[in-house]
Amino acid sequence: MTFEIDYLPNVAAMFMLMFARLGTMMMLLPALGESTIPTRFRLTIALALTLVLYPIGAPLYPADLTANAPRLVTLLAGELAIGFGIGLCARMITSVLQIAGVIIANQSGLAFALGTDVTNSGQQGALYGNFLSILGITLIFVTDTHYLVIAALHDSFTIIPPGLALPVGDFSQNATETVAHVFSIAVRMSAPFLVVGLVFYFGLGLLNKLMPQMQIFFIAMPVNIAVGLLMLMVLLASLMMFYLDHFQQAIGKFIVG
Protein backbone atom coordinates (compact mmCIF):
# COMPACT_ATOMS: atom_id res chain seq x y z
CA MET A 1 0.00 0.00 0.00
CA THR A 2 1.33 3.41 -0.96
CA PHE A 3 0.34 6.80 0.37
CA GLU A 4 0.38 9.92 -1.75
CA ILE A 5 1.77 12.84 0.26
CA ASP A 6 2.67 15.17 -2.60
CA TYR A 7 -0.33 17.34 -1.79
CA LEU A 8 0.72 18.01 1.83
CA PRO A 9 3.03 21.00 1.10
CA ASN A 10 0.23 22.70 -0.83
CA VAL A 11 -2.24 22.02 2.00
CA ALA A 12 0.22 23.48 4.51
CA ALA A 13 0.69 26.58 2.33
CA MET A 14 -3.09 27.15 2.07
CA PHE A 15 -3.49 26.66 5.82
CA MET A 16 -0.69 29.16 6.46
CA LEU A 17 -2.30 31.76 4.18
CA MET A 18 -5.71 31.34 5.81
CA PHE A 19 -4.15 31.52 9.28
CA ALA A 20 -2.31 34.72 8.29
CA ARG A 21 -5.62 36.39 7.42
CA LEU A 22 -7.71 35.00 10.26
CA GLY A 23 -4.96 35.36 12.87
CA THR A 24 -4.35 39.00 12.00
CA MET A 25 -8.06 39.74 12.15
CA MET A 26 -8.37 37.84 15.42
CA MET A 27 -5.75 40.02 17.09
CA LEU A 28 -7.69 43.18 16.16
CA LEU A 29 -11.37 42.26 16.10
CA PRO A 30 -13.56 43.40 19.01
CA ALA A 31 -14.58 40.95 21.74
CA LEU A 32 -12.40 38.04 20.60
CA GLY A 33 -9.28 40.15 20.15
CA GLU A 34 -9.23 42.00 23.47
CA SER A 35 -5.84 42.40 25.12
CA THR A 36 -7.23 40.92 28.33
CA ILE A 37 -7.57 37.56 26.55
CA PRO A 38 -4.19 35.77 26.70
CA THR A 39 -2.28 35.75 23.42
CA ARG A 40 -1.96 31.97 23.39
CA PHE A 41 -5.71 31.61 23.81
CA ARG A 42 -6.36 34.00 20.92
CA LEU A 43 -3.89 32.09 18.75
CA THR A 44 -5.64 28.85 19.68
CA ILE A 45 -8.99 30.33 18.62
CA ALA A 46 -7.46 31.52 15.36
CA LEU A 47 -5.99 28.07 14.66
CA ALA A 48 -9.30 26.39 15.47
CA LEU A 49 -11.25 28.76 13.22
CA THR A 50 -8.72 28.25 10.43
CA LEU A 51 -9.16 24.50 10.74
CA VAL A 52 -12.95 24.82 10.66
CA LEU A 53 -13.00 27.26 7.71
CA TYR A 54 -10.32 25.46 5.71
CA PRO A 55 -12.75 23.45 3.56
CA ILE A 56 -14.48 26.71 2.60
CA GLY A 57 -11.44 28.89 1.96
CA ALA A 58 -8.98 26.41 0.48
CA PRO A 59 -10.69 26.12 -2.97
CA LEU A 60 -10.34 29.89 -3.39
CA TYR A 61 -6.53 29.76 -3.43
CA PRO A 62 -4.50 28.96 -6.56
CA ALA A 63 -3.26 25.42 -7.02
CA ASP A 64 0.42 24.49 -6.67
CA LEU A 65 1.30 27.31 -4.30
CA THR A 66 4.65 25.79 -3.40
CA ALA A 67 5.77 25.73 -7.04
CA ASN A 68 6.12 29.52 -7.15
CA ALA A 69 7.78 31.03 -4.07
CA PRO A 70 7.42 34.72 -5.09
CA ARG A 71 3.69 34.24 -5.66
CA LEU A 72 3.38 32.57 -2.24
CA VAL A 73 5.12 35.51 -0.55
CA THR A 74 2.90 37.98 -2.42
CA LEU A 75 -0.23 36.10 -1.36
CA LEU A 76 0.99 36.00 2.25
CA ALA A 77 1.55 39.77 2.27
CA GLY A 78 -1.89 40.29 0.76
CA GLU A 79 -3.58 38.07 3.35
CA LEU A 80 -1.85 39.95 6.18
CA ALA A 81 -2.93 43.27 4.69
CA ILE A 82 -6.54 42.11 4.29
CA GLY A 83 -6.69 40.82 7.86
CA PHE A 84 -5.17 44.04 9.19
CA GLY A 85 -7.50 46.28 7.17
CA ILE A 86 -10.72 44.50 8.15
CA GLY A 87 -9.65 44.00 11.76
CA LEU A 88 -8.59 47.61 12.23
CA CYS A 89 -11.84 49.03 10.81
CA ALA A 90 -13.84 46.72 13.07
CA ARG A 91 -11.61 47.55 16.05
CA MET A 92 -12.27 51.27 15.77
CA ILE A 93 -15.87 50.85 16.87
CA THR A 94 -14.76 49.76 20.35
CA SER A 95 -13.14 53.16 20.94
CA VAL A 96 -16.65 54.67 21.06
CA LEU A 97 -17.06 53.78 24.73
CA GLN A 98 -13.72 55.27 25.75
CA ILE A 99 -14.43 58.53 23.92
CA ALA A 100 -17.94 58.75 25.36
CA GLY A 101 -16.57 57.91 28.81
CA VAL A 102 -14.03 60.74 28.63
CA ILE A 103 -16.73 63.23 27.64
CA ILE A 104 -19.05 62.04 30.40
CA ALA A 105 -16.21 62.19 32.94
CA ASN A 106 -15.39 65.77 31.93
CA GLN A 107 -18.99 66.82 32.37
CA SER A 108 -19.35 64.95 35.67
CA GLY A 109 -16.25 66.33 37.36
CA LEU A 110 -14.32 63.03 37.30
CA ALA A 111 -11.95 63.80 34.46
CA PHE A 112 -8.91 63.46 36.74
CA ALA A 113 -10.07 60.18 38.30
CA LEU A 114 -8.07 57.71 36.21
CA GLY A 115 -7.85 53.96 36.38
CA THR A 116 -6.28 51.08 34.50
CA ASP A 117 -8.19 50.20 31.34
CA VAL A 118 -8.08 46.42 31.21
CA THR A 119 -9.41 46.41 27.62
CA ASN A 120 -6.61 48.62 26.30
CA SER A 121 -3.29 47.04 27.29
CA GLY A 122 -3.42 48.39 30.83
CA GLN A 123 -3.24 52.06 29.88
CA GLN A 124 -4.73 54.78 32.04
CA GLY A 125 -8.22 55.96 31.19
CA ALA A 126 -11.22 57.74 32.66
CA LEU A 127 -13.19 55.65 35.12
CA TYR A 128 -16.39 56.11 33.17
CA GLY A 129 -14.71 54.95 29.97
CA ASN A 130 -13.15 51.92 31.66
CA PHE A 131 -16.50 50.91 33.12
CA LEU A 132 -18.34 51.33 29.82
CA SER A 133 -15.64 49.39 27.94
CA ILE A 134 -15.84 46.40 30.29
CA LEU A 135 -19.63 46.51 30.21
CA GLY A 136 -19.65 46.72 26.41
CA ILE A 137 -17.42 43.65 26.00
CA THR A 138 -19.55 41.76 28.51
CA LEU A 139 -22.78 42.59 26.68
CA ILE A 140 -21.28 41.50 23.36
CA PHE A 141 -20.79 37.99 24.73
CA VAL A 142 -24.02 37.93 26.74
CA THR A 143 -26.13 38.87 23.70
CA ASP A 144 -24.21 36.43 21.43
CA THR A 145 -23.10 39.33 19.25
CA HIS A 146 -19.64 37.76 19.06
CA TYR A 147 -21.09 35.34 16.52
CA LEU A 148 -21.23 38.29 14.14
CA VAL A 149 -17.47 38.62 14.57
CA ILE A 150 -17.01 34.96 13.62
CA ALA A 151 -19.36 35.47 10.65
CA ALA A 152 -17.18 38.39 9.52
CA LEU A 153 -14.17 36.07 9.59
CA HIS A 154 -16.05 33.59 7.42
CA ASP A 155 -17.43 36.10 4.92
CA SER A 156 -14.10 37.88 4.47
CA PHE A 157 -13.20 35.17 1.92
CA THR A 158 -16.30 36.08 -0.08
CA ILE A 159 -15.92 39.86 0.15
CA ILE A 160 -12.20 39.85 -0.68
CA PRO A 161 -11.23 36.56 -2.35
CA PRO A 162 -7.56 35.55 -2.13
CA GLY A 163 -5.27 36.45 -4.98
CA LEU A 164 -7.11 39.58 -6.13
CA ALA A 165 -5.74 43.11 -5.98
CA LEU A 166 -6.15 44.77 -2.60
CA PRO A 167 -9.06 47.26 -2.50
CA VAL A 168 -6.95 50.05 -1.03
CA GLY A 169 -9.47 52.70 -2.00
CA ASP A 170 -12.34 50.86 -0.33
CA PHE A 171 -10.26 50.27 2.80
CA SER A 172 -9.36 53.98 3.00
CA GLN A 173 -12.95 55.09 2.49
CA ASN A 174 -14.24 52.61 5.05
CA ALA A 175 -11.64 53.68 7.61
CA THR A 176 -12.51 57.36 7.11
CA GLU A 177 -16.24 56.71 7.45
CA THR A 178 -15.67 54.52 10.51
CA VAL A 179 -13.64 57.20 12.30
CA ALA A 180 -16.33 59.81 11.61
CA HIS A 181 -19.01 57.36 12.72
CA VAL A 182 -17.14 56.62 15.94
CA PHE A 183 -17.02 60.27 17.00
CA SER A 184 -20.64 60.75 15.97
CA ILE A 185 -21.81 57.84 18.13
CA ALA A 186 -19.66 58.95 21.08
CA VAL A 187 -21.06 62.48 21.01
CA ARG A 188 -24.64 61.21 20.71
CA MET A 189 -24.12 58.85 23.65
CA SER A 190 -22.78 61.66 25.81
CA ALA A 191 -25.28 64.29 24.57
CA PRO A 192 -27.51 64.17 27.71
CA PHE A 193 -24.48 64.79 29.91
CA LEU A 194 -23.35 67.66 27.68
CA VAL A 195 -26.75 69.34 27.92
CA VAL A 196 -27.05 68.86 31.68
CA GLY A 197 -23.47 70.03 32.20
CA LEU A 198 -24.09 73.18 30.16
CA VAL A 199 -27.23 74.00 32.12
CA PHE A 200 -25.55 73.14 35.44
CA TYR A 201 -22.53 75.37 34.92
CA PHE A 202 -24.71 78.14 33.57
CA GLY A 203 -26.77 77.94 36.75
CA LEU A 204 -23.61 78.03 38.87
CA GLY A 205 -22.42 81.15 37.10
CA LEU A 206 -25.77 82.81 37.61
CA LEU A 207 -25.81 81.80 41.29
CA ASN A 208 -22.31 83.18 41.74
CA LYS A 209 -23.46 86.53 40.39
CA LEU A 210 -26.54 86.58 42.62
CA MET A 211 -24.73 85.40 45.77
CA PRO A 212 -21.00 86.28 45.55
CA GLN A 213 -20.43 85.38 49.20
CA MET A 214 -21.39 81.72 48.64
CA GLN A 215 -18.53 79.28 48.07
CA ILE A 216 -19.81 77.94 44.76
CA PHE A 217 -16.94 75.57 43.99
CA PHE A 218 -17.27 73.73 47.31
CA ILE A 219 -20.90 73.03 46.47
CA ALA A 220 -20.53 72.46 42.73
CA MET A 221 -18.13 69.53 42.74
CA PRO A 222 -20.07 67.02 44.92
CA VAL A 223 -23.37 68.03 43.32
CA ASN A 224 -21.90 67.63 39.84
CA ILE A 225 -20.52 64.17 40.64
CA ALA A 226 -23.83 63.08 42.20
CA VAL A 227 -25.84 64.32 39.20
CA GLY A 228 -23.47 62.54 36.80
CA LEU A 229 -23.73 59.23 38.67
CA LEU A 230 -27.51 59.53 38.88
CA MET A 231 -27.79 60.21 35.15
CA LEU A 232 -25.50 57.27 34.38
CA MET A 233 -27.68 54.96 36.46
CA VAL A 234 -30.82 56.12 34.67
CA LEU A 235 -29.41 56.13 31.11
CA LEU A 236 -27.00 53.19 31.26
CA ALA A 237 -29.36 50.63 29.69
CA SER A 238 -30.35 52.96 26.85
CA LEU A 239 -26.74 53.97 26.16
CA MET A 240 -25.50 50.38 25.94
CA MET A 241 -28.40 49.25 23.72
CA PHE A 242 -27.63 52.20 21.45
CA TYR A 243 -23.98 51.15 21.34
CA LEU A 244 -24.77 47.50 20.65
CA ASP A 245 -27.03 48.49 17.76
CA HIS A 246 -24.26 50.50 16.11
CA PHE A 247 -21.71 47.79 16.92
CA GLN A 248 -23.81 45.27 15.03
CA GLN A 249 -24.13 47.67 12.10
CA ALA A 250 -20.37 48.23 12.00
CA ILE A 251 -19.59 44.50 12.02
CA GLY A 252 -22.44 43.85 9.60
CA LYS A 253 -20.57 45.71 6.86
CA PHE A 254 -18.19 42.75 6.66
CA ILE A 255 -20.97 40.15 6.45
CA VAL A 256 -22.51 39.07 3.17
CA GLY A 257 -26.30 39.21 3.15
The total number of residues written for the chain in this structure: 257
**Average pLDDT, integer, range 132-140:** 87
What percent of the chain has pLDDT above 90? 11
**pLDDT for res 123:** 66
CA 107-112-116 angle, 5° bins: 115
Q: What is the pLDDT of residues 183-198, one digit of tens each?
A: 999 999 999 999 988 8
- In the structure, what pLDDT confidence band is assigned to residue 251 with cuts at 50, 70 and 90? confident
Model confidence, pTM: 0.82
The answer to whether residue 4 scores a pLDDT higher than 70 is: no
The answer to whether residue 73 scores a pLDDT higher than 70 is: yes
Contact 77, 87 (CB under 8 A): no
For residue 163, give every residue at least 6 positions away whose Cβ sits within 8 Å of its Cβ, in sequence order, or none: 60, 61, 62, 75, 78
